[in-house]
Amino acid sequence: MRPQDNIKRELNLTPFQALFKKEIMRFWKVVGQTVFTPLVNASLYLLIFGVSLGKSITLSSGISYLAFLIPGLVTMATLNNAFQNTSSSILGSKFHGDIIDLKVVPLTLNQIVSAFSLGAIVRGLTVGAITFMVSEVFYFVTMGEFLSIAHPFQLLFYLTVGGVTFGLLGVIVGFWARNFEQVNAIGGFVLLPLIYLGGVFYSLENLHPFWQKISQMNPLLYFVNGVRYSILNHSDVPAEKAMMISLISVVVLYFLARRSIQKGSFQKW
């Protein structure tokens, strides 16, 4: 066959769709590891903190600790999995050596960033939704009723924007990292403290004012509280502030993700 003969090309959507499909298929091929392992984590948190220890914790808002914990766990599951999806995909490609494909093929920067982010949000929302369903089972068994969602559309907004933000963070870390040590350092020294100090397990009102100020610098706090407001109609921070910071985070990280692809490493490890 002659080169370029009888060939129909569509370079606006098709390259994006191909990378998006690859991102989905990648985590779906190891669904046990990518989707069901986080469920075990969430169940353990619910059992230990929510059901067992939660009985002895009282919050001034009058909300049960189990109800308080569930939005935090759903946010943590969504955001963490969104981050894992992009970062491990890029790191895996660096390890296998096929990362150079992204430079050689006619994918634009926007197509790469969008496809990775959307792949991240699909995995994030899948794990987030399953975590919520498992949480509902725990809640029903403990409280005798299901936990209702106060603002469903806002819930979808916070989880989607949060998932995209953390997916973008995974893109940045993935392209920036030059070895596995750097990735582990980011996970251990940045991401884990952000998650655990983001108000998943405790309310800001229980903290010393100094630590309250420190916590307010953590962007994760706003996603957690946005989701908590959407489910419980209760939040440690004003809902408008949470929405504003979520949107600013996603825009800033989008541009940083583009930059990381332009300047990042495509070397095989």
Partner 1 sequence: MQHPFEVKNLKKTFGTKNHQTQALKGVSFQMDEGEVFGLLGPNGAGKTTLISILTGLEQATEGQAFIFGEDVSKGLQSTKSQVGIVPQELVNHGFFSINEVLGFHSGYYGIKKNQEYIDYLLGKLGLLPHKGKKVRELSGGMKRRFLIAKALVHKPKLLMLDEPTAGVDIELRNSLWEFVEELNKNGTSVLLTTHYLEEAEKLCHRVGIIHQGELKAVGKTSTLIKDLTQREVLIYFKEATKIESIYLKKQTENMMAFQIPSHMELGELMAKLKLDLTKVIDVKIREGRLEDAFLSILGDKTKNGNTK
Contacts with 188 (C-beta within 8 Å, 6 or more apart), sequence order: none
33 binds partner 1 (CB under 8 A): no
- Residues 238-267 as x/- pattern, contact with partner 1 by CB under 8 A: ----------------------------x-
Interface with partner 1 (CB under 8 A), residue from 97, 152, 188, 193: 97
Contacts with 151 (C-beta within 8 Å, 6 or more apart), sequence order: 229, 230, 231, 233
Nearer to partner 1, 29 or 55 (CB): 29
Stretch 101-140 residues interacting with partner 1 (CB under 8 A): 101, 103-108
* Minimum CB distance to partner 1, residue 261 (Å): 11
Interface with partner 1 (CB under 8 A), residue from 19, 76, 77, 121: 19
Choose the binding region for partner 1 from 20-28, 38-46, 63-71, 177-185 (rule: CB under 8 A): 20-28
181 binds partner 1 (CB under 8 A): no
31 binds partner 1 (CB under 8 A): no
Interface with partner 1 (CB under 8 A), residue from 22, 55, 178, 213: 22
Q: For residue 236, give the nearest of 249, 227, 248, 247 by alpha carbon.
A: 227
* Minimum CB distance to partner 1, residue 108 (Å): 7
196 binds partner 1 (CB under 8 A): no
- Alpha carbon distances (Å) from 255 to 109, 166, 174, 210: 10, 13, 15, 32
* Minimum CB distance to partner 1, residue 15 (Å): 5
Write out the residues near partner 1 by the rule CB under 8 A.
Answer: 1-5, 7-11, 14-15, 17-19, 21-22, 25-26, 29-30, 92-93, 96-98, 100-101, 103-108, 266, 268
